[in-house]
Structure 1
């Protein structure tokens, strides 16, 4: 088989590493956003339950 030059492989590894790090950062941000929204939903559910009980 035809072996790719070492520098080409290293460049691709660097590119993929950068891409992977960006994705990881984005995943963390999205996870934080989801957790925040879960908290809001939980609070709204609690408020709703209190309102329904007080009828």
Structure 2
């Protein structure tokens, strides 16, 4: 894998789990972090996910 790292893989996994479940605590458990703040750097929300959440809220 070129231009990849263990952290980029963890970020991808965290983003996919968050998009699938909407549960950041599940992401925390999968990443093995004892504190939720430790998981935050790995969690990104895509524009599509934000747009979908906004549309659901309306």
TM-score range, shorter chain: 0.3 to 0.5
Higher helix share: 1
Point out which structure has higher relative CO (alpha carbons under 8 A, 6+ apart): 2
Compare CA radii of gyration and give the structure with the larger one. 1
